[in-house]
Amino acid sequence: MQPETHPLESFFHQAVRNSYEGRLGLNDPDVTGYVARLLCEFSQSDKLYKVRDEMGRPIAELDQMMTAADPIHGTAASFDAERMVRKHIGDYALFVAGMYPEAVETGRQRRRHHPSLGELIHAGKESYYIVSQFNLFEYEQEAPLFGRLSDWFERCILGLTLVRDELNHHRRLLPPPVN
């Protein structure tokens, strides 16, 4: 039995493939598929902040997510928990930097609790690299994918920016909603 796919997966897969392969020359079906599934997952707003604090509240701040990932000095209960949170940090950083650049702090506009693009890139690359180092047992097959996501992190952000631009272009072509 095949796993159920998200209704937007084929749409996002085509948009990501157009940008990653067609415009950036990033020909890696595993990366393309992963990023398309990431867009599907984060199309549900509750998935963007799925890391929780000790009280069960969603963590929305990048620095708090980083603390939650640390099994020695932070709140991760195990190395598996570290991997799960680090994977989410990589996903979160990639998604926010590529799809919502207005949420990124710039030097001109200092907003509280908004990471800079440099902070997102550092956290995302580092987190995907750490996930890639979990390369034994059940994680062995997917570890190389996270190594490539770390190595190509900036290109993946650019590819998502192109996806965003394409989606905005198509949205402008739609007729206005009927009230």
Helices assigned H by DSSP within 1-151:
9-17, 29-42, 62-69, 79-99, 117-132, 143-151
Q: How confident is the model at residue 56 (pLDDT cuts 50, 70, 90)?
A: confident
| Contact between 127 and 64 (Cβ < 8 Å) | no
Angle at 12 between CA 7 and CA 13, to 5 degrees: 105
- The whole-angstrom separation of Cα 74 and Cα 95 is 24
Cα 65 from Cα 63, distance rounded (Å): 5
Give tens-digit pLDDT for 128-162.
999 999 999 999 999 999 999 999 999 999 999 99
Global confidence as pTM: 0.89
DSSP line for 26-61: ---HHHHHHHHHHHHHHTSGGGTT--B-TTSPBP--
User: What is residue 105's three-state secondary structure?
Assistant: strand
Helix, strand, or coil (residue 116): strand
What tokens were used for 76? Answer: 């991760």
How many domains does one find in the chain?
Answer: 1
- What is the residue range of 107's domain? 9-168
Give the best-scoring range by mean pLDDT among 8-12, 74-78, 147-151, 168-172: 147-151
In a domain, 41, yes or no: yes
